[in-house]
Structure formats: C-alpha cells, structure tokens
Structure 1
Amino acid sequence: MAHKLIYFLSQSHIRSSIAHAWAKKLPLRDVTFISGSWSKARDTNFVNDVLHEFSMEAPNSFSYTPSQKLLEDADLIVTIYDSTHEIAPHFPDTFNKKVVYWDIEDPECISELPTKWAHYQEVCDIIALSVKQLKKAFIEV
C-alpha cells in the first residue's frame, strides 16, 4: 500500500482537530493525518476537554492552511463545514475526486455554556463515527 496523506479541514480548526485526533487512533500504517483551517484558527478548551473524555489529546500540530501544494499532495481532503452557518470552500475541479464534505454543526455557534458543552460532546461523537466510516470507505480500498 502506498503512503497516503489525509487532510482534515474546517473553518476554524476546531472540528478538523477533533477529526485528526480520532483518525490517529485508527490502526493504520502508511497514512499521515494533518488538519487545518480555511479561516483563522481558533483556540478553545472545549476541544481538549471533550477529547480527554475519550483519553485522547488534541493534535499538537499547528493548523495547516490550504495551499496549492498541500491540496495536490493530499490523497483525501475531508472538508468539515456547518451548512447552517458556513459556506464550504470550493476547490478546483481537478480535486473533485479527492474532496469529501462532512456537514457537521459548529459547536462554537452555541453561546450558553451547558448547552455548548453538550453540543461539543455530540459533535465529537458524530466526527468519531465519520472517521470510522472514512476508514472503511477510503483507506481500506
């Protein structure tokens, strides 16, 4: 199997870093995962807190901003966006076969703390399931 590069991308690096953390738990060899944002990366303690519930750490890498080279090098670009609050980035047609869109709510859109925390937990669960399906659909082919 050839080495693969999977690039998780979200607007503020929150959901893509959660996906990155879950992907690192997959028992895969010859796959590198990176994550980034198409807008300004934002820090929040909620990411670390929600991942700690699953005995995981957030990736300690910085947010990779999409560049032409990075998009070309990636074997799969997983674009995580919230269709209610965000417009997903458009990629050149040459990348269509390697771009996947996950419509997952942005937990930062909730302002009340107890509700926001519950929303982060729900988003983390949705992303975990999506990453597991990703393994079956794209990596084990």
Structure 2
Amino acid sequence: MAEETPAADVLGLTAEIVAAHVSNNPVSLADLPNLIQEVYRTLASVGQPEAKPQPERPQPAVPVKKSITPEYLICLEDGKKLKMLKRHLQTSYNLTPDQYRERWSLPPDYPMVAPNYAKHRSSLAKKIGLGTKPRGRPARGVRRETPAAAAKTV
C-alpha cells in the first residue's frame, strides 16, 4: 500500500485532474499555475506520513512577571484578577497548582495567594491564637500533678 508513486505518474495524474477541472469550471490564466502546483503537491503527499505540528506553547494572558501584584494575582489562563488562585484553577480549568506551575513553567514557590491577602490572613490567625500551644486546661481525662504532690511521691 505504501508504494512510492513515480514522479511521471504523479505528473500525468496532475494533468488529467487539472484538465478535467478546467473543462468544467472557469479558471483564469493567472490562477492556473497555482492550481497545478496545489494538485501536484497534494498527489505527491498521498501516502506520505503527515508531519505532526508541534503543539504550540500556550501564551499567557499577561506576562508572568506582571501576574503577581501585592493585592491580587492574575491568572495566566484567562487574565482574571484573584486573591486566591487555587480554587479558580480547580473549578474553571480542573488544574492543580502543580499542574498550573508546570504548564506555565513557573517556579515551585510561585504563590497561589496574593501577598497582602496572605499577610492579612496570617495576622488574623495570630490574633485569635492559631498556631500556638494551648495554655489552658489539660486534655480531658489527664490529670496534671501539682508540684506539691510530685514532691510527696519522691
């Protein structure tokens, strides 16, 4: 099946096809050379493996350097300004942060939250005491010994 057609056969077929086309359709003299070339190229490429075009690298909606501002991040997929990127990527594009970073060749430490928003959330968490060890009551069922009771047992 994958026989190579000699150039003479392709040329003969080209002449037949062009003659049949010209006899049934009006073609100007200026368009005739282009028609012959196109038919010849098409016939010559029959049976040849198609050259697969390399997938184009997607172009970001904004330059990567401009995608991080203090107040918001700009999504490289669609150009939207967001404070938190992770949920937007998951719901709109079904991408994880790692897939997003890989797709756009971003460093592993590329933020998914706007810098000022992260600082604000951090200060709120510190204000209510998150991230500190509890200083209040011991856990249920565990009794702490008082220093006086510990001294009696020794």
- TM-score w.r.t. the length of structure 2 is 0.20
Ranked by relative contact order (alpha carbons within 8 Å, sequence separation 6 or more), the top structure is 1
Larger-Rg structure = 2
TM-score (normalised: structure 1): 0.21
When you count strand as a share of all residues, which structure comes out higher?
1
